[in-house]
Amino acid sequence: MKIINRILCSALILLSIISYANQSVLAKQSTFSLLAVPVPAPVSPSGTITDTTPTYRWGKIAGASQYRYQLLKGASVIYTITFAASACGSGVNCAHTPLTSLSNGTYAWRVRVMVSGTWSSYSPLKGFAYARVPVSRLPSGDITDTTPSYSWSKVVNATRYELRLYRGASMIYSPIILASSCTSGVNCGFTPVTKLKYGAYTWQIRAMLSGSWKAFSAPKAFYVSPVLVGAGDIASCSSTGDEATANLIDGIAGTVFTAGDNAYQTGTAAEFANCYDPSWGRFKARTKPSPGNHEYYTSGASGYYGYFGAAAGDPAKGYYSYDLGDWHIIVMNSEIDTAAGSPQEVWLRQDLAAHPVVCTLAYWHKPRFSSSASHGSNTAMQPLWQALYEYHADVVVNGHDHLYERFSPQTPDGTADPDGISEFVAGMGGASLYTFGNILPNSPARNNDPHGVLKFILNAASYRWQFVPVAGKTYADNGTANCVP
């Protein structure tokens, strides 16, 4: 019996302990509930704003001693500000304006409060976007359009914009664009009629708000790159290849080159008028030609010089040079003396010395290197190559062999050299195509079907090339390269 009484007594004691513990837990839970701090509700800013130092507003909390709000841009905290609740002022909301100015972008902010020494959790994030300075978008980088369209982000409540274009320190134009002329969407755009010269530019845009001009956007740089496009071995009255390649050039703005053998079979005035002019003749005003051996089947290449006039240079020479953007372009005549010390080779060296530019391209008819089974490489061109190589020229373009072939940079004797000259055989302008023989070293790309044109985009210190095939054909060769230092 004593044992049973002791067991009962122990059980009663245990039940008392459990009951007391439960009461303590409930009391703590009740106390916690009484002390939970409400979370403030953010009011503004929200949506899109134009104030660089916006005022933050949120609902007041009774008994608050401090508030703390935090601004984020993405995952980065821009600032965290804590201040006394007594500074909130009258009204149902608390307000505070920081001194830190915002840059364009998307932001989110949150707030919390301290009551009786305890901080609440942060409120849910409230997002907004600041847009007072337009964000310039296009043009940028390398472009080929000489009348580029400008686009920038709209600024809420802007009434007009001012665009300023500079070339170096000189302002080219500064049109005022009414905001009402902007189309729907998030961007505004404008296309001026002024045609730009080739070269480097920067532009900025600013908005007018409430009758006051705001700050300009950061300068945006772009470079207007010239286009050089063409081929050799072009027009014959007995074929339609030249019509097909001319259709390509119809859609390519820029300067047109010819790499010789422009009018078959003998380059007479009649062949230029009846065979060349109906196709490639529509680009005559923008063509910089070079002669080929078929032109000289007519005495003195009189048909060629008579057709192109001053654009072909002195008929006694047939070589000349011109500048295209930041590039120097040299046109040689492979049908006269090219030996070292010849008048043409001496002129070439003088011309190169007088134009110490970063990028140089030369073109003429007969190639120094070719894998064609028909004509192939012509060592008589090596003195021209030697001069060009010594002056760090970058590109040589030829025709004569009716096919396309690209050679990697090499020396005048055909040794691979990263600082050498890249040669393009571009004899696919319209005449019947040839076949390949033994493939030479340093020849990574070649094709003898189809006809096409070779297009260059000449940037300030680099270039892009592209073989453009006639309609219905798919062969492609394109790439980029830096100019030789």
Q: What is the pLDDT of residues 108-138, one digit of tens each?
A: 999 999 999 999 999 999 998 887 788 899 9
What is the dihedral angle through the alpha carbons of 307, 309, 314, 318, rounded to the nearest 10 degrees?
Answer: -40
Q: What is the pLDDT of residues 305-341, one digit of tens each?
A: 999 999 999 999 999 999 999 999 999 999 999 999 9
d(CA 352, CA 221): 30
Written as six digits, the tokens of 393 are 């020229």
Model pTM score: 0.76
d(CA 469, CA 241): 11
Contact 484, 469 (CB under 8 A): no
pLDDT for the residue 205:
95
What are the DSSP E strand ranges found in 74-198? 76-84, 93-96, 105-115, 118-119, 126-130, 136-138, 141-143, 150-153, 160-167, 170-173, 176-178, 187-190
Domains in the chain: ranges and CATH? 42-130 (2.70.50.50), 136-224 (2.60.40.10), 227-482 (3.60.21.10)
Distances from the Cα of 478 to the Cαs of 120, 209, 296, 398, in angstroms?
62, 47, 33, 17
- Is the predicted pLDDT of residue 104 greater than 80, yes or no? no
pLDDT for the residue 100:
85
∠473-479-483 over CA atoms, to 5°? Answer: 140
Q: What is the pLDDT of residues 444-466, one digit of tens each?
A: 999 999 999 999 999 999 999 99
Q: What is the pLDDT of residues 56-76, one digit of tens each?
A: 999 999 999 999 999 999 999
Band of pLDDT at residue 153, cut at 50, 70 and 90: confident
d(CA 447, CA 466): 13
Which residue do the tokens 């509930």 mark? 33
Q: Assign 434 to helix, strand or coil.
A: coil
pLDDT for the residue 325:
96
Average pLDDT, the chain: 91
Band of pLDDT at residue 35, cut at 50, 70 and 90: low
d(CA 243, CA 104): 52
- Is the predicted pLDDT of residue 265 greater than 60, yes or no? yes
- Dihedral pair phi/psi, residue 402, rounded to 5°: -85, 75
Q: What is the pLDDT of residues 235-252, one digit of tens each?
A: 999 999 999 999 999 999
